[in-house]
Amino acid sequence: MTTETTGQQREGVLAAVAAYVMWGFMPLYLLLLATVSSSEILLHRIIWSVPFGALIIASRHQWSDVRAVFRSWRTLAWLALAATFIGVNWLVYIIAVQQAQIFQASLGYYINPLLYVLVGVVFFGERLRVAQLIAVALATIGVMVLTVSGGEFPWISLILAISFTIYGVIRKQVVIGAMPGLFVETLLLLPLALAWFGWLMQQGESVFLSAPAGLQFLLVVAGPVTVLPLLCFALAARRLRLSTIGFLQYIGPTLQFLIGWWSGETLTAPRIVCFLFIWVAVIVFCADSLRSGRREKHD
């Protein structure tokens, strides 16, 4: 393994951890916006992401990369598809938190890494070592326990898992820098978001203009709250294997799981069992990764 490759992997791991920690604490931010409708929160996430993203693009002198996207219909089409799936993911997640379904949201992101591993193995020819297979099996058992114990089909969980998996796969395949790609995605969603926001204001259903200054500030902050973790994720997706990204993602749902517990959702025995199975899986996977890393270093 070259020094450059090792450096890229290290950067990828740090970026992925940063993304998942920020996403893990996302429910706390959304709980502060409990008086705002889920649709309006989604619109503010899109609208304010554009100027914040533009500032980052300008500071990194990446406007030429953005212009290049609009000269390639293929790249533009893929990013439009990615924007669709991430928009669905945002809306469903907001609804889950507002309906006190944080546990089910966390279940979705527990399932998500399993889908990454599946896609990585089936479509990209990635191979898993024995310890990694054991980790996958343990995590699968944990997810199945939580799914079966729920008493209802986990639509929220599955929509979150599938939409974000597809988004991650698309971003891994599109040859474009992390921030320019993310900026174009939000830019493509902007016209629809502005039209929807205008309709809400016309119907008197928007709270933004009449809200206290503190709430207005929180809604504007939706821009950086949205862009920063997605930027970190996009950086990680270009540098790491899908299976590695998948298991690092357990950081996010675990934090969400704990926040759901803290916010008063019922922590049942099956949920505890799931939590234990998944963290044993993470420990097995991380131990194997460290052992493999030392072996490659000596080689």
Per-residue pLDDT of 233-258, as tens digits, reads: 878 877 787 667 767 877 898 899 89
Q: Whole-model pTM?
A: 0.83
Structure tokens at 284: 């097995």
Candidate from 2-11, 17-26, 96-105, 203-212 with smallest mean pLDDT = 2-11
DSSP string, 226-249: HHHHHHHHHHHHTTS-HHHHHHHT
Instruction: Please state, for a pLDDT cut of 70, what percent of the chain lies above it.
Output: 92
- Most confident stretch, 160-174, 190-204, 283-297: 190-204
For residue 299, what pLDDT is reported? 55
Residue closest to 189 by CA, chosen among 37, 21, 43 = 43
- The more confident residue out of 1 and 211 is 211
- CA–CA gap between residue 173 and residue 171 (Å, rounded): 5
Radius of gyration of the chain from its Cα atoms, rounded to whole angstroms: 20
For residue 1, what pLDDT is reported? 47
For residue 296, what pLDDT is reported? 57
Q: Average pLDDT of 117-121? A: 79
Q: If you count DSSP H runs as helices and E runs as strands, how many of each does the chain have, helices first?
A: 14, 0
Residue closest to 142 by CA, chosen among 255, 250, 20, 272 = 272
Instruction: Band the pLDDT of 4: cuts 50, 70, 90.
Output: very low
For residue 246, what pLDDT is reported? 65
Per-residue pLDDT of 157-171, as tens digits, reads: 889 999 988 998 888
Per-residue pLDDT of 182-192, as tens digits, reads: 899 999 999 99
How distant is the alpha carbon of residue 42 from its chain centre? 15
**Domain ranges for the chain:** 3-127+154-267
- CA–CA gap between residue 223 and residue 49 (Å, rounded): 4
